[in-house]
Amino acid sequence: MQSDVQETAQEYTPYINRERSLLEFNRRVLAQAKNPDIPILERLKFLCISSSNMDEFFEVRMASLYEISTDAAARTKPDGQLPSQAIATLSEVAKEIVYDQYNTLNHILIPELEKENIRFLRRRQWNEQQKEWVREYFLSSMQPVLSPMGLDPSHPFPRLLNKSLNFIVSLEGKDAFGRTNGLAIVQVPRSLPRIIKLPPEATDGENDFVFLSSILHSNVSNLFPGMTVTGCHQFRLTRNTNLFIDEEEIDDIMSALQGELYSRDYGGAIRLEVSDQCPKNMYQFLLDQFNMSEDQLYTVDGPVNLIRLNSVPDLANRPDLLFDPFSPSMAKTNQSNKKGGFKLFNRKKESESMFERIARKDLLLHHPYDSFAPVIDFLYEAAKDPNVLAIRMTLYRTGEKSAIIDALEKAARAGKEVTAVVELRARFDEDNNILQANRLQDAGVNVVYGVVGYKTHAKMIYIVRREDHKLRQYVHLGTGNYHHVTSRFYTDFGLFTANPRLCNDVAKIFQQLTSLGDTKNLETILQSPFTLHSGMLERIEREAENARQGLPARIIAKMNGLEEKTIIDALYDASNAGVKIDLIVRGICSLRPGVPNMSENISVTGIVGRFLEHHRIYYFENTQGSPELYCSSADWMRRNLLSRVETCFPILDKDNFQQVYTEGLAVYLEDNVGAWILQPDGSYLPKERSDDEIAFSAQQWLMDKYVDKD
C-alpha cells in the first residue's frame, strides 16, 4: 500500500497553481462559517469574508488570466499552465465554492440564526402588516432614487458599475408612447442598504430582516405603470479592476492613477451573477451584452452580494452571539492623554520618554495582542519633542482619519524635516493614499511616491534626535501596515530599536528611496529587490549543506504566501538533503509538501482563526554560528522578493528573539484547532487531534497570555 501511495505522489507536478491555492484558502475561510464552535454571528462574518475574497479573486486574479489568455506564449506561474486551461479549472472550483457559500447560508446559518430569533423574512412569509410597511418603505425610501430604464434604440443598455446591484425586468404591454419594449434594467444605488431591519411597528420579532431585493421584487410594478411585469431578477457584474499605467512613459504618477481609478469601475466583464430563478433567455441576453461565455455565469440561491450581510451583526445587537471582547494588552503602555498619546509602563522613572526607554533596550510589540498605541505615541512624541530634527516614514496603507497622518502633520508644522514615502499603488487603497499624500504635502511634508516600477512595501519609521550634542537615531520596523484599524485583527510584530547597525541600514534605505542613489552595502537588513531574495536562498542552501554534513539543520518560516519558484526549488533541495522544514502559510502556497524524493521533510500548515495571520518570520538553525531569526514585510512571493522595496530585519535582542520564536512560530506548530494541513494534491485537511489530546489554539493561547499581562 505504501508503495502505491509513493508512486501516486511522484506523479504530482512540482508546483501548485497560485490561483488554485488562493481558492483553497477561501475554502478554509468558508469552513469557519460552518464551525459550530464559533459564535453564530461570527460565522456569518466569515461567510461575508469568503464572499469578499471571491470578489477580489475575480477582479484581480481571474481578470489577469483573461488579460493574458490571447497570448500564445503566456503561461501561469509557477506551474506553467496555459491561461485557458487554468481559467477552465479555476471556474469549476470557484463554482463549487459559490454553491457551498449559498448552501451554508440557506441550510446552516439562517436556520441557526432563527433559533436565536434573528430572522430573514422572505416575501411568502410577510403578513399584511409587514406587506404594508414594505410598500410604504419602497414608496418613501426607494422609488425616489431608482431610475428604471426601458431598453430601446434611444435607451441603450446602461453602463453598469462594478459589483453594483441591478435587476433585469421583463414586461408585457405598451409604454406611455404606445411601444412594446419587453425588457428594462433597474440599477440600485449603493447608498441604499441591502438589508433592512423591520421596526417594532411592523413585526413582533426583535431582529427581523428583509432583503432590499425582496422589497423591490414585491413593488417593481410601481416602476412601470401601465405595463405588466412578467419577471424580475437580480444580477451583478464583476469587472476587471487591474489598473494599467506605463510608469516609464508618464510624468506624474498621481495624475495618471487618478485618471485610471475612474475606469476601474468599468473594466472588462469577468463574472456575471444572477438569481437561479432567472430564465435562460434573460441571462443569455445579459451574457451577450457583456460579450461573456456561459462559463462566466454564476447562478445563486439568494442575494447576489453576500458581503452586505456583514451589517447584520451590528443591527442585531446580540453581543452574546459574538466573540468575547478582546482588548489589546496595555502592559507595556499606559494612556496618558485623550488624544491617543501613551507612555511606557515599564520605564525606570516616571518621566522617562519613549526615546529613553528604547535607548535602554529594543522594544518588541506583538499586535493585536499588544496595543498599536505606542507606534502612534512614538510619532506624537517626536512631533512635539524640540530635540527631534527629522522624521521619515513609509506609508502603504493607513486608513481614513489616521492618527499617523495627524502626527506627521503636527511634526511638519512644528518645523521638523518630515519625509513620507507614500505608495500610491496599494491595491484598492489608491484613492485614500492620494488623499493622504495631498494632505501631507499641504502640511509641509516632503512626499515621494517610491520608486518607478517597484512598490514600496517596507514598514519603517526613522527618527533623528539631538542628544548630548550628538545625533542619535531611532527606528521602528514592522511586518504590517501602519493602519490603526487592521492592527486590531492582523497579527504582526513591530520592533523599536536604537541599535546603530539597524538604524544605519534604515537611514541608507530612506536615502535610496529619496535620492535614488545606489545603496546596497547594508550591514544587517536584507532588502528587496537587491539582497533579500539571494539572502534567503543562501540561508536555505546553508541549512541544506549542514544537513549533508550531518549537522543539525532546521527551517521554520511563517508568511502569507509562497510561490517564488527558486525559493521553492531550494526548499525541495534542502528537504532532500534532510533538513526538517516547517512552513506556516496563511494563503497561497505553490509548494507541494510530503512528496517522496521531493518534499517529504516539508510540512505546510495554514491557520485560520479570529485574527488574520499576517506575520512574516524566518528562522534558520545556522549550526555554523548561532540561530538566525528575521521578521519581514515580505512574503516569499516573486513580487515581494524581486519587484518591491521590502525589508527583512534580524531580531538581535535575545529576549525578543525568544518571544518571536515562541509566539510567532512554536505555538502555531502546536495548534490543533485552527490548523489545516496542506496535502500533496493541493487540498487542505484539518489537523487531526486524538480523542485524548487537549485542544490548543495558538491565537487563544496568545490572548490568554496577554490578558494575564494586564
Grid coordinates representing 498?
A: 536604537
Query: Which residue, 667, 631, 644, is CA-closest to 494?
Result: 631
The answer, yes or no, to whether the previous bond of 368 is cis (omega within 30 of 0) is yes
The contacts of residue 355 (CB under 8 Å, 6+ apart) are: 381, 385, 465, 467, 474, 498
Secondary structure of the chain: what % helix, strand, coil (to 5)? 40, 25, 35
User: CA 292 to CA 237: how far, in whole Å?
Assistant: 11
Options 233, 367, 457, 484, the catalytic residue? 457
Q: Which helix (H) or strand (E) holds 678?
A: strand 675-678
Q: Three-state DSSP class for 574?
A: helix
User: CA 60 to CA 68: how far, in whole Å?
Assistant: 13
Please state, in angstroms and as integers, the Cα–Cα distance from residue 134 to each residue in 214, 219, 398, following that order: 9, 9, 40
Task: Compute the C-alpha angle 277/282/287, nearest 5°.
Answer: 110
Is 457 a catalytic site residue?
yes
Grid coordinates representing 518?
A: 545606489
Length of the chain: 710
The contacts of residue 252 (CB under 8 Å, 6+ apart) are: none
Q: Three-state DSSP class for 538?
A: helix
Grid coordinates representing 221?
A: 410594478
With b for 16 or more beta-carbon neighbours within 10 A and e for fewer, the 197-214 pattern comes to bbeeebbeeebbbbbbbb
Query: Which residue, 252, 233, 222, is CA-closest to 185?
Result: 233
Residue with C-alpha cell 535575545? 654
Please state, in angstroms and as integers, the Cα–Cα distance from residue 102 to each residue in 304, 359, 690, following that order: 10, 55, 32
User: CA 93 to CA 21: how far, in whole Å?
Assistant: 11
Query: Would you tell me how many other CB atoms lie within 10 Å of the CB of residue 510?
Result: 22
- 271 a known binding residue? no
DSSP at 693: S
User: CA 583 to CA 561: how far, in whole Å?
Assistant: 10
- 137 a known binding residue? no
β-strands 470-478, 460-467 pairing: antiparallel
User: CA 111 to CA 117: how far, in whole Å?
Assistant: 10
* Residues 87 and 62 sit within 8 Å (Cβ to Cβ): yes
The identity of residue 291, as a single letter, is N
Grid coordinates representing 111?
A: 436556520
- 53 a known binding residue? yes
The contacts of residue 157 (CB under 8 Å, 6+ apart) are: 151, 185, 289
* Residues 633 and 657 sit within 8 Å (Cβ to Cβ): no
Question: What's the sign of the alpha-carbon dihedral 516, 520, 525, 527?
Answer: positive
Q: Give me the phi and psi of 44, to 5 degrees please.
A: -65, -40
- 425 a known binding residue? no
The contacts of residue 43 (CB under 8 Å, 6+ apart) are: 32, 33, 34, 35, 109
User: CA 584 to CA 665: how far, in whole Å?
Assistant: 8
Within the chain, how many helices (H) and strands (E) appear? Answer: 22, 29
Question: What's the sign of the alpha-carbon dihedral 626, 631, 637, 642?
Answer: negative
Q: Which residues are catalytic?
A: 457
Q: Per the annotation, where are the binding residues for ATP?
A: 53, 490, 586, 614
Q: Per the annotation, where are the binding residues?
A: 53, 397, 427, 490, 586, 614
Q: Per the annotation, where are the binding residues for Mg(2+)?
A: 397, 427
